[in-house]
Amino acid sequence: MAPPPPVVILDDSLWFPDPSAAPSRGPLAGLVAMGGDLSVDRLLLAYRTGIFPWSVNPLTWWSPDPRALFELDRFHIPKSLHRTLRLQPFTVTRDTAFDAVIRGCARSAPGRRSTWISPEFIQAYGALHRAGFAHSVECWAGNSLVGGIYGVAAGGLFAGESMFHRATDASKVALCHLVDHLRQRGFALFDIQMLTPVTRRLGASEIPRHDYLRRLSHAIDLDCAF
């Protein structure tokens, strides 16, 4: 068996290697590069190239194969969630509490003792939000933030990063509103990077990386305002 290719180490130059060259199998599957920084410009280049960061120490950049996504015209809402949506238990907003949403996603929760969302990620995505590229959807019960989701928009791509809830179905309601909003705004690609049991039940699927990169090249050319 051939040894895995050497890992590309980034410096201060603003570039990434071709994500299609990242290994699809083995212990380094999906790893594109290490190093660089979490500047707004590098993060935008990463998402526009089909790459995302996943750890800080060391800083790693990934493009998994296969890639998970929601097909916007095939999003599945289970009957129980339909009932919740009809009851409208939450007030849903967009981009009113980005910092609170990402911090909610970073907190430990039952079944999740820790997350990859470090203070460095909170700072970097906060800067991306202030630059107009990272966005959030919030669910409120009265004045209390009880759930939300955040991600990155670039052209017709929305890359969902993480979601959280403190009330039953709050994160799923936020996700439903996000999907509807992306449809209305003409987005072409809703990337969720990797499948989870929750997203699978809501209709998420996987496609080969080369198909994802092909669709991404068309999506990022669109002019979609979040």
pLDDT tens string 98-127: 999 999 999 976 554 457 799 999 999 999
pTM for this prediction: 0.94
Give tens-digit pLDDT for 23-35: 999 989 999 999 9
Domain shared by 138 and 170, yes or no: yes
Domain shared by 13 and 45, yes or no: yes
Domain boundary among the residues 24, 44, 65 is at 65
Is residue 147 in some structural domain? yes
Is residue 226 in some structural domain? no
Domain shared by 195 and 164, yes or no: yes
Is residue 101 in some structural domain? yes
Domain shared by 91 and 159, yes or no: yes
Give tens-digit pLDDT for 68-104: 999 999 999 999 999 999 999 999 999 999 999 999 9
Domain shared by 184 and 129, yes or no: yes
Confirm if 68 and 193 have CB atoms less than 8 A apart. yes
Structural domain range at position 126? 69-219
What pLDDT shows up at residue 1?
A: 55
CATH number of the domain within which 100 lies: 3.40.630.70
The Cα 114–Cα 106 span in angstroms is: 7
Amino acid present at 143: N
pLDDT of 4 above 90:
no
pLDDT band for position 3 (cuts 50, 70, 90): low
Domain boundary among the residues 16, 49, 65 is at 65
